[in-house]
Amino acid sequence: MGSKVERVIQLILDDVRADQFFQLLDDGKLPKIRKYLGDGIRGNCTSIYPAITVPARLTLLTGAYPDAYSVPGMHWYERRTNKIHNHASLHSWDIPEMLGDRVKTLYEQVSGNTADLFTLMHRGVDYNFPTKAQTVGIYIWHFYILRTSVVKANEFTVNKILDMFTKPRKYFGNSDPPRFISAWFFSSDDLMHDHGYDSREYISNLIDIDRQIGVLIEGNNKHDGLKQQGYLDDTVFILSSDHGNYKAKRQVILEPYFQQHGLIPIKSGKKNRGNFDVAMGAVGQFYFKGKDPNSRPTQAELEKYGPNELNLLKILRGIDGMKLLYYRDDENTPKKGMVHVEYLEDDTIIEGTIEYEGEKTRLTLPGKDFFGYSDDNMGAKMLDGKFHTLDEWIQHTHHLDFPAVADYVVRLFKNPNSCDVLCSTLGETIFNYEHGKTQNSHVYGHDIATHTGMTTPLLISGSNITTRTLDHAKSSDLVPTIVKLLNGNLAPSVVGRSLV
């Protein structure tokens, strides 16, 4: 038996999928992680859908899903104020104040000194870095003036953690070492989009993160490591990621298509400008203006929209590579309702439904099983006409494409700020379109409901952690695991279960 758990350090590697990570680990390319984090719990962990960073971060740091917190995604449209929220910007720093009172962050569920590095989900934390002002300064100084590589952020993050242990009063106002730290390694996401998960740049960066984790434990010329400082034996490490990734075959430019059909992007604050908003990698969350500032289009209005009676569903089906559409029923309530599903196969529309009652969902596919569950012994059990919990969905579909999609889609649509129509390709085409403009030419993405897009690595090691392999886990399980390890107070909104 090891020492009593006194602290937990959570290391979140952005945009790392399980098969890639464990292949590098097993091939000996990540020797420090293997040496110090390899003896404990190991397994695959299912992220959320759509598999994008902001909601994934929120689930990792609250243990809840979009049906509980107020922020439905990286990008969303607020009808009441006619405002577009883009959290791929400095607007990310507003998220802690926008979460709402139905959820608590990890920092609000554990006691002792806590620190947040780069996750930007810092409500209730004792120390967080960077602030919005610090971010502007860092960006200008390092990326415009010095042209610093994003890889340097790995070293900076680890040095910051070690400094908290050697100089706790500087960060917390007392002499106690940190009890919980969540540190986000964002460099891997930048390099994955720019160069690809199979590139030298991306893989070299993961190797550098491994090297820096070695420094965290063994020290360097600036700091003693956790081993020398005497903290290693009573610390638990949790290594995970927010989402996986994939490579599209081609990019499609959307602006001409939308213009052709009379769809004009909304501009924040300009009440009479535009009629729709969407941010779309391969998954698009479409918002359309209703008859008044607080209303959504009904199903009938989606098919005869505006003065020109546009058939919005038909237009969305016509997007190059489009395969799946989801939209809510008009009669839905927070407790009971239905989401309509359309699968597009050539010129045929194959329909299905996802019903929900409380926390359980039922998937009905009267025609073709386009999710492919019926071809799998475990997955087929979820097409039994019964309502199922999230844990049942994860247990039976975690190893397939579209893991737990029935549950996750419903949770998204229960969010009062969520989109009107959720659309997805299957990764063959990607768009990189945000609020009226194509942003880049990337073909590497991470939003679709494939096994590779949603399956992330998980390692839990340290004090009293018994070596074993997990058959499956979900990202909301990390919060209750950490709260249990630190004897905290688990919030009622937490959906996950402890893995220890």
Q: What pLDDT digit, counting tens, does each position of 244-295 carry?
A: 999 999 999 999 999 999 999 999 877 778 999 999 999 999 999 988 878 8
CB 297 within 8 A of CB 305: yes
Question: What's the mean pLDDT in 350-375?
Answer: 97
pLDDT digits (tens, 9 = 90+) for 280-339: 999 999 999 988 878 899 999 999 999 999 999 999 999 999 999 999 999 999 999 999
Q: Which residues of 220-243 are buried (b: 16+ CB within 10 A; e: fewer)?
A: eeebebbeeeebbebbbbbbbbbb
CA 310 to chain centre: 33
Q: Domain residues of the chain, as ranges?
A: 7-68+103-246+454-485, 250-445
Which residue bears the tokens 């690595």? 457
> Is residue 26 helix, strand or coil?
helix
More confident residue, 443 or 3: 443
CA distance linking residue 423 with residue 283, whole number of Å: 6
DSSP reduced 3-state for 117: strand
pLDDT at 445: 96
Instruction: For residue 127, give the 3-state DSSP assignment.
Output: strand
pLDDT of residue 1: 39
The string of pLDDT tens digits covering residues 22-36 is: 999 999 999 999 999
Instruction: For residue 259, give both structure tokens.
Output: 């213009």
Give the helix/strand (H/E) hosting 470: strand 468-470
Residue 196 has pLDDT above 60, yes or no: yes
Ranking 147-151, 422-426, 495-499 by mean pLDDT, the lowest is: 147-151
**Does 114 score more than 70 pLDDT?**
yes
The average pLDDT across 445-467 equals 95
| CB 67 within 8 Å of CB 415 | yes
Q: What is the pLDDT at residue 48?
A: 96
Name beta bridge partners: 422. Answer: 285, 326
For position 143, what pLDDT does the model report?
61
Pairing of strands 40-46, 468-470: parallel
pLDDT category of residue 3 using cuts at 50, 70 and 90: low
**Does pLDDT of 451 surpass 70?**
yes
Share of the chain above pLDDT 90, in %: 86
Strands 336-345 and 324-328: antiparallel
Phi-psi region of 374 (alpha: psi -120 to 50; beta: other; left: phi over 0): alpha
Residue 144 or residue 451, greater confidence? 451
Beta partners for 46?
Answer: 455, 474
Indicate the average pLDDT of the chain: 94
Res 139 pLDDT > 70: no
Provide the CA 326 distance to its chain's centre, in angstroms. Answer: 19
Looking at residue 144, what is its pLDDT? 58
Q: Quickly state the pLDDT bin for 146 (edges 50, 70, 90).
A: low
Burial tier of 163 (Cβ tally within 10 Å: 0-12, 13-18, 19+):
middle
Cis preceding linkage at 130, omega within 30 = yes
462: left (phi over 0), alpha (psi -120 to 50) or beta: left
Q: By the 8 A CB rule, do 33 and 210 touch?
A: yes
**C-alpha span between 476 and 399 (Å, rounded):** 17
Q: Is 263 exposed, middle or buried (0-12, 13-18, 19+ CB in 10 A)?
A: buried
Q: How far apart are CA 332 and CA 99, in angstroms?
A: 23
Q: Is the pLDDT score of 141 beyond 60?
A: no
pLDDT class of 373 with cuts at 50, 70, 90: very high
Q: Pick the residue with more confidence: 233 or 137?
A: 233
At 289 the pLDDT is 93
Mean pLDDT value across residues 341-369: 96
- Residue pair 456/47 in contact by the 8 Å Cβ criterion: yes
Cis peptide before 50 (omega within 30 of 0): yes
Helix locations, 242-373, DSSP H: 255-260, 299-303, 312-317
Strands 114-117 and 180-185: parallel
Q: How confident is the model at residue 132 (pLDDT cuts 50, 70, 90)?
A: confident
CATH 3.40.640.10 corresponds to the domain 7-68+103-246+454-485: no
Amino acid at 80: R
Q: CA 24, CA 217: separation in Å to the nearest integer?
A: 20
SS3 state of residue 354: strand
Cα 327 to Cα 339: distance, rounded to the nearest angstrom: 6
pLDDT band for position 453 (cuts 50, 70, 90): very high
Other CB atoms within 10 A of residue 178 CB: 21
- Say how far apart CA 59 and CA 411 lie, in whole Å: 12
> For 260, how many CA atoms within 13 A lie in the half-sphere containing its CB?
9
